[in-house]
Structures are given as structure tokens and as C-alpha cells.
Structure 1
Amino acid sequence: MPWELRDGEPVIDPALVRALLSEQHPELAPLPLAEPVRGWDNTMVRLGERLALRLPRHAQAETLLDREVAWLPRLAAQLVARPVGTTDQADHATPALPVIPTPVRTGVPRAGYPFRWAVVPWMDGTPAVHVPLEARDAYAVQLAATLRGLHQPAPADAPASAFRGVGLAEVEDRFSRRWDAVAGELGRERREQLAEAWRRAVDAAPYAGARVWLHGDPHPNNTVLAGVGPDRLRRSPVLVDFGDLCAGDPASDLGSALLHFSPSGRDAFRIAYDAGRVPDPALWARAQGWAVHFALIFAAQSPGEALRPLGRDLLA
């Protein structure tokens, strides 16, 4: 479980963080430190008002962080060089230039800590997973605009993923194992609805467009809502944790995004994302399949995980 230390995992405490900063970025060492907060792959430590440290908890997380360090500056430069519009919150979303939290400093293993690490911008706000489902509908149009802005053609050497942006047949074995584990808990009608959504997704026409940039995991716990109170729901959501950044079929990003919303919010999201585009029913059939796939992943997480209730509610 991410809230507990895995076997062999380094202990990340303020003393270690101070040691790493003092040796490698001494000008940052005097800034105030918040208490470390463990996520699934990284421990985050807020540094002053505007920065944070991302410290991998295991070797695979270090690889994901390396991807962010290598690729986020290139992605940000590409998007800045190709402005894609602003958000019209009244009726639809035109592509909006997404915020790309590009690492500002990097670090290497020292002081007994075994992994590479980074200093990143701090995105102040509330993770969307902590906002009630129906309230999240308020930013459906803005999230659609953010993803439209991100889903731009990627360069030929952009990273690929075996788990995102691929054909659903590539993840069907994983889907089947997870489905078998939870299907017995579902009512017959709901089980048949979800199974049919998956079948339609697998049978839909495969993606034939250019590989586009994908966040990889734009779920509610990787989405920060700036501000406080109702105001935070009227602002464009900020996607964080680009460790699964890759290029491919946008259906996997859209499937994850659908899990933010109620049925009416999903409709608003889809209409906004499709504004000005040629209709593509196969894209949304694949996205619905990805939504079921991700809901199974979330539902299988350990008790106490923020996404577990969301996955179980969406499957019920």
C-alpha cells in the first residue's frame, strides 16, 4: 500500500531532504519544508510557497520521473510554439494551453537516498478526488479544453506506453483478470452493461490518426483545482504527475477523464471535447472501454486509497 513503506524503501524525512538540498541546491536549502506526503510512486515535500520535491519511492518511479525530466520541457515548448486557444465556458471548449509542471531542478542519489529526484512547481489547490462527484461536473468543459490542448501531434520519438494510448486488445488480459475478480460483486444488470461497453470498445474501429500527446493518467487524484470553496470549480483544472506521459490514441486519456463526472457531466465533457471536430463514435466507444478498465483498477486498490471509492461507485 502506498501509505506504508515497502520493503527496502528509503525513509524520506525532512532531515534527508535538507541534506539533499544542502549538497546539490544550497540556495534552496533555507526554504521552509512541509511534512513529506507519500503517493503511490513518489513522496512529495512542499518547499517554500512555490516549489516541491518529487522523490521516487522505488526504481520504477525513478524511471517515470526521468521521463518527465526529459520530455516535459519539450512538450511545453511545443505547446507554447503552437498556441491552441482559450476556454469558452458558456457553451463549449476550444483547445486551451494546458499548464505543464516542468521540473525546475534535478538531483542525483546522495546522503543515502538511492534515486534521482526533482524540484517541481507546487500546484496549490484541492485534488479533485476530494470534491463530490456532482460538484466535479462544474469543470467538465474546462477539463475538455485542457485535454484538447494537450492532445496535439507528438514527434516521432515521443515515448510510447504498453498501458496507455494503445489498442484495447493490448490490455485485454489485464482487464480480464480484474473483471473476474470483481464481476461477482456486481448486480446482473450492471455486470451486463459494463461487459457490453467493453465489447463495444474492443470491437470499435482502431485509432488511425497521428499519435498525440497524452497525460496518461488524468484521473481525479492527478487533477488539482486551484482556489478555495466554489471558486475552485470555476477555474481550469491543472493536471499533475506526468509520469505516464506518452503518445498514442487519445481514447485512454478520455476514458480516465470520464471518471471525473456524473452522466450529465460526461455528456458536457464529450460535447465540449468534440466542439469543432468531425464526429468520431469509435473514439468514444474506445474511451468508454478505457473508463471501465480504469474503474476496475481503482476499485481493486487497497482500503484507504483515494481512488478506491470512486472506482467502486462507478462500477456499482
Structure 2
Amino acid sequence: MPWELRDGEPVIAPALVRALLNEQHPDLAHLPLGEPVRGWDNTMVRLGGRLALRLPRHARAEALLDREVAWLPRLASQLANPPSGTAGRAHPANPAIPTPARTGLPRAGYPFRWAVVPWVDGTPAVHVPLEVRDAYAPSLAAILRGLHQPAPTDAPASAFRGVGLADIEDRFAQRWEALVGDLGRERRDQLAEVWRRAVDAVPFSGPRVWLHGDPHPNNTVLPGVGPGPGPMPGSPVLVDFGDLCAGDPASDLGSALLHFSPTGRGAFVTAYDAGRVPDPALWARAQGWAVNYALIFAAQSPGEALRPLGRDLLA
């Protein structure tokens, strides 16, 4: 579980955070600190009203943070300054990219590089009711349309996202075998058919586009919205770009489909496709990715925020 310490993982306490700030960013050291909150890869500590520290929990998370630091400024610049003649063609609004504000080095007994990032005040979408998530389906579609723009040739690739489904078929089979016994016969056959159609669909032929990499509801913040019933949200904000890469947008879309009820998924697809040439193969692949992510989420430990989403889709 992400809130449990892994073997050898550094303990991130307020005193350590103060020491890092005092040594490397003393002008920020006076700001109040929030309680450390552990995610799967990083611990977040709120810093004042507008900032947070993003502190990797393990070496792979440090590499993902390095990717954000290196690439998010370039991505933000590209989306803010599209090539001549392309502005607004794919979508009228570009997404906000939470570019790291500062970086830090291993010091004070903490072994990894870290960053100061913008704080997005709100509630992760995974903690709000389904009808609230359905309400932002067109907004999330707009954000992903704005993000899914051609990436430069040196943009990072991933072995797990934005690739052909054949590339993850072995891992999918392992996850499927681990959970298939929990499914009824009819539902098992339905999901197997979704996966088969996805694998058989016309493959992505490029150009590679920018991908968030992990736009699930726990990486989607609803500003000004609290958990439980309440006002409908405005535009959501995607956070945690550690899996930023370029490739087939179907993997992002598959993750996004898990936000919504069937009605919300329909609204999401309609909004994403507005003004585009219909591409049934894209959505066939996206549905396969949705099943893949549902298996991943459903296999998480009880208490994990994303586990119910995976279980609900598989049921």
C-alpha cells in the first residue's frame, strides 16, 4: 500500500523538509508546512498556500520526477505556442501544465532529487460521487484533446503507455488470470471480447502525441470541490505527470474512461471526437486499455482509492 513504508524508504518528516528548505531554498523555509501525504511514488507536503514539495519515495520515482522537471517546461511552451496555422485546430483550449517551480538535491540524509511544484487546491476526483465525475466529462475531453498534440521526436517513450496492445499482452494475461475467477461467465466473455477487438483493431500509425500517461481519477483534482455531494465542478486539473510520454492516445483515453458511468463515457467520447474524423479503431483500443487499467486497479489492496473503480468496471 502506498501509505506503508517500503524497505529502505526514507522517512519524510517535517523536520527533514525544513532542513532541505533551509539549506537549498531558504526564502521558502518560513512558509507553513502541511502534513506529509504518501502517494504510490512520492510524498507530497504542502508549502504555504500555493506550493508543495514533491519528494520521491524510491529511485524509480526519482527518475519519473526527473522526467517532469526536464519535459514539462518544453511541453507547456509547445502548447502555449503551437505551430503557425494549428492553434485551436484540435481544440480551442490548451491544458494547464503544472510545471515544477524549483528543484532540490539529495541533502540532510534524504537520498533523492526533489522538486517544489504548484499546489492545486481541491479534491481528487476519485473521492467524489459518480454523478459529479460525469459532469466534467466534456471538460476532461477538452483537456486531453488539448494535450494530445504531436510531440517532438526526442520526447520520452514508455514501455507501458502509448504502446501497441500487443506490447502489454503478456502482462495483461497475467492480470486477467489472477482475477478472472472473480468474474461471472457472461461478464468474463464480454470483457474478453472487448480485449480481442482492441488487439485486432487497426494499430496507431502516428505521429506520436503527448500523453499524460496516467489520467485516472486520483490524478485529477477538482478545484473548489469537497468530497461527497456538493456543487458540480468546473474544469478538472490533471496532476502528477511522472508518466509523461508520447505515443498512441488510446492509453490515456482508456484511463479517462474509468472516470465515468456509461452515460458519462458517451459524453466524453462525443466531446473528444468533436470536429475530428471518426476513428473507431482508436476507441476500440481505448476500451482495451480501460479493461487493462481496471485489472490493475482491481488488484490493488483494500483501502486503495482506485480499487473500487477497477472492481466496478469489471463487475
TM superposition score category, shorter chain reference? over 0.9
Q: Secondary structure at the match of 1:43?
A: strand
Q: Is the 8 A contact 2:224 2:233 kept in 1?
A: no
The answer for the alignment partner of 2:67 in structure 1 is 67
Please state how far the C-alpha of 1:95 moved relative to its aligned partner: 4.3
Q: Indicate the percent of aligned positions where both proteins have the same amino acid.
A: 83
The 5-angstrom pairing of residues 73-84 of structure 1 reads 73-82=73-82, 84=87
Counterpart contact for 1:79–1:97, Cα < 8 Å: yes
| More deviation, 226-235/293-302 | 226-235
Question: Do residues 129 (structure 1) and 132 (structure 2) align?
Answer: no
Corresponding residue for residue 144 of structure 1: 141
More displaced stretch, 115-124 vs 132-141: 132-141
SS where residue 234 of structure 1 aligns?
coil
Per-residue deviation at 1:84?
4.8
Quote the Cα distance in structure 2 between the aligned partners of 1:95 and 1:238: 17
TM-score after normalising by structure 1: 0.96
The residue that corresponds to 2:312 in the other structure is: 313
Q: Which residue is equivalent to 2:295? A: 296
Q: Which residue of structure 2 lines up, in the alignment, with residue 117 of structure 1?
A: 114
Amino acid at match of 1:47: L
Contact 2:132 2:233 (8 Å CA) reproduced: no
Residues 9-45 of structure 1: CA deviation (Å, up to 9, x unaligned): 0000000000000000000000000000000000000
Q: How big is the shift at 1:97?
A: 1.1
The aligned residue for residue 108 of structure 1 is 105
Q: CA shift at 1:209, angstroms? A: 2.2
2:42 corresponding residue in structure 1? 42
Instruction: Give, in whole Å, the separation in 2 of the partners of 1:61 and 1:105.
Output: 17
Q: 1:216 is matched with which residue?
A: 213
Judge conservation of contact 1:103–1:119 (CA < 8 Å) in 2. yes
- Structure 1 residues without counterparts, runs of 5 or longer: 87-92
> Residue 198 in 1 paired to residue 195 in 2?
yes
**Amino acid aligned to 1:200:** R
Q: Which residue of 2 aligns with 1:242?
A: 241
Alpha-carbon contact 1:84-1:97 (below 8 Å) kept: no
- Provide the rounded CA distance (Å) in 2 between the counterparts of 1:38 and 1:49: 19
- 1:85 & 1:208 partners in 2: Cα distance? 23
Give the SS at the match of 2:232.
helix
2:223–2:233 CA contact under 8 A, matched in 1: no
- Taking the aligned partners of 1:118 and 1:135, their CA distance within structure 2 comes to 32
Alpha-carbon offset, residue 85 of structure 1 = 4.5
Segment of structure 1 superposing worse, 94-103 or 264-273: 94-103
The structural deviation recorded for 1:235 is 1.0
Separation (CA, whole Å) in 2 of partners of 1:234 and 1:33: 27
Which residue of the other structure, out of 210, 225, 228, is the alignment partner of 2:225? 228
Aligned residues: CA RMSD: 1.4
Question: Secondary structure of the equivalent of 2:27?
Answer: coil
Q: Which residue of 2 aligns with 1:16?
A: 16
Is 1:180 the equivalent of 2:177? yes
Letter in 1 for 2:314: L
CA distance in 2, matches of 1:221, 1:95: 26
Q: TM-score, normalised by structure 2?
A: 0.96
Q: 2:180·2:188 contact (CA, 8 Å) conserved in 1?
A: yes
The answer to whether the aligner puts 1:53 opposite 2:50 as a matched pair is no
Which amino acid counterpart does residue 56 of structure 2 have in structure 1?
P
Please report how far the alpha carbon of residue 180 of structure 1 lies from its aligned counterpart in structure 2 after TM superposition.
0.2
Letter in 1 for 2:30: P
Shifted more, 303-312 versus 61-70: the winner is 303-312
Shift of 1:313: 1.1
1:118 alignment partner, SS class: strand
Asked whether the equivalents of residues 55 and 116 of structure 1 are also in contact (C-alpha less than 8 Å), the reply is: yes
Deviation at 1:299, TM superposition (A): 0.4
Letter paired with 2:11: V
- What whole-Å deviation, never above 9, does each CA across 1:166-207 have from its counterpart, x for those lacking one? 000000011000000001100111111100000000000000
Question: In 1, are the aligned partners of 2:225 and 2:233 still within 8 Å (CA)?
Answer: no
Are the structure 2 counterparts of residues 154 and 231 from structure 1 closer, same or farther at C-alpha, using a change threshold of 3 Å? Answer: farther
Residues in 1 aligned to 2:290 and 2:160: alpha-carbon distance in whole angstroms: 13
